[in-house]
């Protein structure tokens, strides 16, 4: 029986400043090994925007001296599409379809991997990952970013912040709030959080550049990270 797993691949690890070639090589090798040993498995990889999105958004806001939220989102979405095209071609032997930019369209995974980008203003690619998980009946989303775990507060600002191993959606909502802002720095965007909670999805947060830990998650072994659940 074919099953689908969704990976939300943070732009912060695809392109934290420059494109992280070493990380992408390791990620490719990890995913290829997993698919080669799990013939029944298909993957959806949703790509974030990373540093290019922030740089172009900041340039726009400096030039016009204002913040047009839809414009800022569209600029960020363009960056996610560029990252998604790179990832799609890296996995060309597994990905036979174009990048999916609208998670509500009736597309199928004709190969072993579907690669998706941002969709439209009002939320981040986190929400796209949740919608695709719902549509393809995935039980969880693996959220890979530049943080190892979710914290009770921003550890860069609060020395009392503590890592969280396990948390419910209701408690998680208290951390991320209710509103989305373009470029908002939260572990999971509030729109995606609300929908994931509504459909009873599980989300695993982990450091994307730890390939050994990613293998543990994929193979259902003990891992370092945060599990968010109903």
The model's pLDDT over 113-149, given as tens digits with 9 standing for 90+, comes to 999 999 999 888 999 999 999 999 998 999 999 889 9
CB 187 within 8 A of CB 206: no
The stretch 187-202 carries a mean pLDDT of 92
3-class SS shares of the chain: helix, strand, coil, % to 5: 40, 20, 40
Rounded CA gap, 188 and 205, in Å?
A: 9
- Model confidence at 88, pLDDT cuts 50, 70, 90, reads very high
The model's pLDDT over 15-63, given as tens digits with 9 standing for 90+, comes to 998 999 999 999 999 999 999 999 999 999 999 998 999 899 899 988 9
Position 184 pLDDT exceeds 70: no
CATH code of 3-229, in short, is: 3.40.1160.10
* Residue 153 confidence (pLDDT): 81
CB 183 within 8 A of CB 53: yes
* Residue 107 confidence (pLDDT): 87
Report which secondary-structure segment, H or E, holds 87.
Answer: helix 69-90
What is the token pair recorded at 140? Answer: 């969880």
Residue ranges per structural domain of the chain: 3-229
* Residue 185 confidence (pLDDT): 67
Rounded CA gap, 222 and 217, in Å?
A: 7
What average pLDDT is seen over the chain?
A: 92
Nearest-Å Rg of the Cα atoms of the chain is 17
Rounded CA gap, 114 and 107, in Å?
A: 10
Residue 63, burial from CB neighbour count under 10 angstroms (0-12, 13-18, 19+): exposed
Rounded CA gap, 141 and 204, in Å?
A: 6
Position 208 pLDDT exceeds 70: yes
CB 143 within 8 A of CB 176: no
């Amino acid at each position: 029986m074919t099953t689908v797993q969704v990976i939300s691949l943070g732009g912060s690890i695809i392109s934290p400043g420059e494109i992280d070639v070493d990380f992408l090589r390791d990620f490719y090798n990890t995913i290829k090994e997993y698919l080669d040993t799990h013939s029944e498995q298909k993957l959806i990889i949703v790509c974030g925007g990373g540093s290019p999105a922030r740089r172009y958004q900041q340039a726009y806001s400096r030039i016009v001296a204002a913040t047009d939220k839809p414009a800022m989102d569209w600029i960020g979405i363009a960056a996610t599409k560029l990252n998604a095209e790179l990832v799609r071609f890296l996995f060309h032997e597994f990905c036979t379809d174009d990048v999916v930019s609208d998670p509500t369209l009736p597309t199928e995974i004709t190969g072993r991997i579907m690669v998706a980008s941002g969709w439209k203003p009002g939320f981040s690619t986190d929400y796209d990952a949740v919608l695709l998980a719902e549509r393809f009946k995935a039980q969880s989303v693996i959220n890979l970013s530049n943080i190892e775990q979710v914290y009770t507060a921003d550890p860069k600002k609060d020395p009392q912040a503590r890592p969280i191993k396990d948390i419910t959606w209701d408690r998680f909502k208290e951390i991320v709030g209710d509103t989305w802002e373009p470029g908002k720095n939260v572990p999971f965007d509030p729109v995606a959080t609300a929908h994931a909670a509504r459909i009873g999805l599980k989300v695993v947060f982990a450091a994307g550049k730890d390939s050994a830990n990613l293998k543990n998650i994929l193979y259902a072994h003990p891992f370092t990270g945060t599990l968010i659940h109903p």
